[in-house]
Structures are given as C-alpha cells and as structure tokens.
Chain A
C-alpha cells in the first residue's frame, strides 16, 4: 500500500494553499496514509493548520534554526531522510517545490514526475510537456519512491476544518550544508488576493503601455476583488514585478474568472490559464489569438472599456 509524504509550503508562519492542493493529489493515490512534513524553525502554527486538512493522517515537524528559510540545499537532505518508508513524496509545483523536489529525487537516486495533472494509478500520472501542447502519461517504477511535483491549478485545495490529525515532532539525523545562505526576500506588498489561489484574476499585457497605466488594471481589480497578473511582455517592460507573470514560465493558475486585458494570447501565456473557469479577453485587435479561447471577447480600446465596465458595475 502507498504511503505519501507531502512537503508543506509556508511563509511567515502561514501554510500556503498549494499544500492542500498537493494533499488532494495525494488522496487520489488512494494510499493508506498521507503525512504532511513541515520543516521550519518554528513549525507549530503551520503544523496546526496542516492538521486540519481533510485526508491528512499525521503532521510531522522538523524544528531547526537552519529551516528558518526555505533553502533547497538545507531542506533536501532532511526530506530525503524523512522519506524513508514512504512510497511517494509530493510537493506543490510552485517555485518552492520546483526548487527542492528534484534535489530530493537526486538524493534518493530516483527520477521526478513534474507537474502532475492527474493520478491514473498509484504509479501512473499525466503531465504537460511543450507548454501544455501535449499531455503525456508517465509510469514511474513501482520499485522506487516516486518524487513528484503537483500542478496546483489541476487540483482543488482539500477542504480544511473537519480534521484534527496528530502532530508529531521528528528528529532527522542529517548533516546540513552551510554553503548556501539566505540574504533577503523582497515581497511585493499587496493587500490584494493571492494570484495563485484567487477566484478572480485581472491581467494586463503590453497593451497597457506603461507602469503608470497599470494603475487602471489595479483599480479595476480592486473594484471586483480580483488578484492582478501580467503577461511576460508587461513584466519584461517593467510595468509590474516578476511575481505577477502568468504562463509557461510564470504562474499557472485556475481562477473562476480570468480577464486578459491588452494581452495577445501567445501560447506561453495561454498555458498558464487554460484551466480557468471563464476567460474574458479585451483587446483592440479583433484578430488577437486570445479571442480563440476566450469565453467572452470584447474588441476595443482598454482605456475606454475599463471605465465603461466600472460604470456598468454600478455604485
């Protein structure tokens, strides 16, 4: 029977919702146990949150001062040790999981399945390649631990609240390197919903034209309670920070509503939004490829349309 270890992602003492999505994928394996591993300098609050997630059997904590920041080189040896006895190790396919999971896989001497979209059987998964232009079915060798990252946009967050899984402190005997040191994290300070878990997202592209103009996007997003995203072209041009990039090489998201404003719809952008519930495109070019996949398209100048949308929303 399968036993799955899910690596918790957290920041500033809060569990990231990607963890509950990875738990959903773990549940799909239909194993006998799902344990969540929290590596932190002070894991208590995060562990308490993880214990509430439905489907979680146990929460294991490793409290060490070295775990204050998520450095892959420091975390991976601990995860590799903790993985003993587990058939699967899952991490979310976020920059955190993408950084640490392959390092764990290599320490275990196994391959990794990246961006799991579905679990077909305990060792059979589907995943996207070529920016999502093809979906492959991969079979991992059942004789080895499966290390996988979970494409968060493909999985709902496992519900939270009903569960009360036991929390156990774990001591792992792993020598930790000092060759990698945390310096700082510059977070985009924002009171807006988190881009990766928001139910509504408004994104701006090169068509927005400047950093100053992007205020129109922020203002409209705030009006409807949406998170704000961007195309690569908008980020490259300095209109907005990198963490807002949506797409093949940015964030893959699945909001209920996605509004692409002044975005042409390059394949690399579309791969980041194809699981969105409803896609709205606003573009002045009627031939823009974004209209090919949009549920609702509106052709016209965004600088004229956005104020009209605000007016139509009423007071």
Chain B
C-alpha cells in the first residue's frame, strides 16, 4: 500500500504574525517557515505504518512555489520515500488543494491519504474532508489513534463530546489531531540520504485542475486587543473583585 501525505509549509507556530499596516496581508517576509505541525504528525503516522509493514511507500506532497523543494527535503529526511511538488506561485484554497490531491490519487492509487486536520496559517480545516467527498471515499478526521488491518482502519477521533471510534474501508482520508503521535526528529545522516531521494515536480497548470476561487480576501485586520488588567494581592481581594462584578 502507498500512503500519500500532505506536507504543507507554513509560518512557524512560534512566529507572532503581524498584519501589514495597509491591511493588504500579513508580514511573511523573512519569517521562519516550518512544516505544518499536523503534517509532521501525518508523516510520522505514515512512516510508522510502513515500519509495521502495512505500507510500502510513503509519498509527501507539497503544493506551493518553486522554493518549496528545501521543505520537501525535510519530509524526505524524516523518512518519506519520495516527494511530489505541485508547483504554483498562487495561494491555493482548500477546494483547489483537494482537487490537486484527487489528481495525484488517480495517478498514484494510494490505500491511504493522511493530511493534517488544519494548517495553522489559514486554520481552514477543510482540505481532507473536501478530498474525501470528491474521491467519494471515507473520511476519518481529528484522528487520535489509527489501527489498520484487513483493508480497514479503525480510527479514534477527538470530538467535542469525547472520543469517537469509527471504522472505515480503505482507501480513505485520515486527518491528524495533535495527540496521534510525537513526530521523530530528523538526524544528520538522514539529511544526507534525503538528497538522493526523488522529488517529482508537476506544474499546477498541467494537472487540469479548475482553480476558480470562490472566496476573495478583501482585508486583513489585527484582532481586537484585550487590555491588561490589574494584579490583585491575594485570594480575598480576587474574590471580592469577582463578587463585585457579579461573577461569583
């Protein structure tokens, strides 16, 4: 079985994002970029399935500009067998990303596609579900535990009410939650090895994917700020203050 993994590059989660003064976007020049944390978890899960002998090949997929190669090399260094780079200079909305993945699925015929539940830049939380719909296959979102056997996956999902277990027939789309696993660190020799692993570059335009964006972002604004409050000296003062506000 092949596993296709979404491997998106995003602004690192430690960066404090600033909105440009003219509201035309956020400042991304020179900020640190990293793999979407949920995609590292997706890749880790795929690698573990390969190590268990359930999968033979793990392919990381990135959709983005020409300089994405260095990022994809990290995925290869972590252990993916190869990478597919769909090259586009334009921002890609989730529906378009899902359509791209569908094209790659038609070609690669994976048994499993693992994506992050959300990318921490746009926080859309859509791509996996959209892909599953277009592919007409099961989706198991927010996965906290994945067990694959006999052409099926039992996935424990982190939902608002608690933990929901579902069973899906493969092929299927799984999206990862934070507690699925702890991704491994990349070791130096792996970086060397990754240099000889293949990255397939495909021009976005050659896939025949309709890139009609239904959504236009017209403005970026900084969020309303909460103002700093007061420090109280002890428990009694805190209780008195909260009682005065009618909160206790």
Cα(A292)–Cα(B226), bound, Å: 9
What's the tally of chain B residues with a CB closer than 8 Å to chain A?
83
**B85-126: which have CB < 8 Å to A?**
93-95, 98, 117-118, 120-126
**Partner of A135 from B221, B231, B234 at Cβ < 8 Å:** B221
User: Is the CB of B228 closer than 8 A to any CB of chain A?
Assistant: yes
Known: A129-B121, A137-B218. A103 touches B139 (CB 8 A): yes
Contacts of B229 in A (CB 8 A): 279, 294-297
Chain A residue nearest to B161 (CB atoms) is: A187
Task: Determine, out of A40-48, A108-116, A204-212, the stretch whose residues face the partner at the interface.
Answer: A108-116
Find out whether the CB atom of A113 lies under 8 angstroms from the CB atom of B242.
no
Q: In the complex, how many angstroms separate the beta carbon of A34 from the nearest chain B beta carbon?
A: 22
User: Is the CB of B141 closer than 8 A to any CB of chain A?
Assistant: yes
Contacts of B160 in A (CB 8 A): 94-96, 196, 243, 251
Find out whether the CB atom of B221 lies under 8 angstroms from the CB atom of A72.
no
User: Is the CB of A315 closer than 8 A to any CB of chain B?
Assistant: no
User: Is the CB of B217 closer than 8 A to any CB of chain A?
Assistant: yes
Size band of the interface chain A makes with B: 35 or more
* Chain B residues in the interface with A (C-beta under 8 A): 11, 13, 16-19, 26, 93-95, 98, 117-118, 120-134, 136-142, 144, 154, 157-169, 172, 177-179, 213-223, 226, 228-236, 238-242, 245, 247-248
Contacts of A236 in B (CB 8 A): 178-179
* 7 residue pairs bridging A and B, Cβ less than 8 Å apart: A98-B129, A177-B138, A196-B160, A232-B178, A295-B229, A297-B230, A309-B235
Cα(A308)–Cα(B238), bound, Å: 10
Known: A236-B178, A241-B162, A256-B247. A99 touches B239 (CB 8 A): no
Chain A, interface SS category: mixed
**Partner of A103 from B130, B231, B236 at Cβ < 8 Å:** B130
User: Is the CB of A1 closer than 8 A to any CB of chain B?
Assistant: no
Q: In the complex, how many angstroms separate the beta carbon of B50 from the nearest chain A beta carbon?
A: 24
Q: In the complex, how many angstroms separate the beta carbon of B213 from the nearest chain A beta carbon?
A: 7
Task: Determine, out of A50-58, A59-67, A138-146, the stretch whose residues face the partner at the interface.
Answer: A138-146
Contacts of A124 in B (CB 8 A): 218
| A-B interface, 6 closest residue pairs, ranked by CB to CB distance from nearest | A308-B235, A102-B129, A295-B229, A106-B133, A106-B130, A111-B214
Cα(A268)–Cα(B120), bound, Å: 10
Cα(A257)–Cα(B229), bound, Å: 14
Cα(A267)–Cα(B16), bound, Å: 9
Q: In the complex, how many angstroms separate the beta carbon of A190 from the nearest chain B beta carbon?
A: 10
Known: A138-B215, A184-B164, A278-B242. A99 touches B94 (CB 8 A): no
Find out whether the CB atom of B138 lies under 8 angstroms from the CB atom of A180.
yes
Cα(A223)–Cα(B153), bound, Å: 43
Find out whether the CB atom of B226 lies under 8 angstroms from the CB atom of A299.
no
Cα(A224)–Cα(B101), bound, Å: 50
Find out whether the CB atom of B163 lies under 8 angstroms from the CB atom of A186.
yes
Chain A 272-315: CB-based contact to B (< 8 A → 1; otherwise 0) = 00100111100000000001111111110000010011011100
Q: In the complex, how many angstroms separate the beta carbon of A167 from the nearest chain B beta carbon?
A: 25
Chain A 76-111: CB-based contact to B (< 8 A → 1; otherwise 0) = 100000000000000000111011111111110111
Q: In the complex, how many angstroms separate the beta carbon of A243 from the nearest chain B beta carbon?
A: 5
User: Is the CB of A200 closer than 8 A to any CB of chain B?
Assistant: yes
Find out whether the CB atom of A102 lies under 8 angstroms from the CB atom of B232.
no
Find out whether the CB atom of B235 lies under 8 angstroms from the CB atom of A305.
yes
Contacts of A128 in B (CB 8 A): 123, 223
Known: A249-B178, A296-B242. A130 touches B26 (CB 8 A): yes
**Partner of B125 from A102, A107, A241, A257 at Cβ < 8 Å:** A102
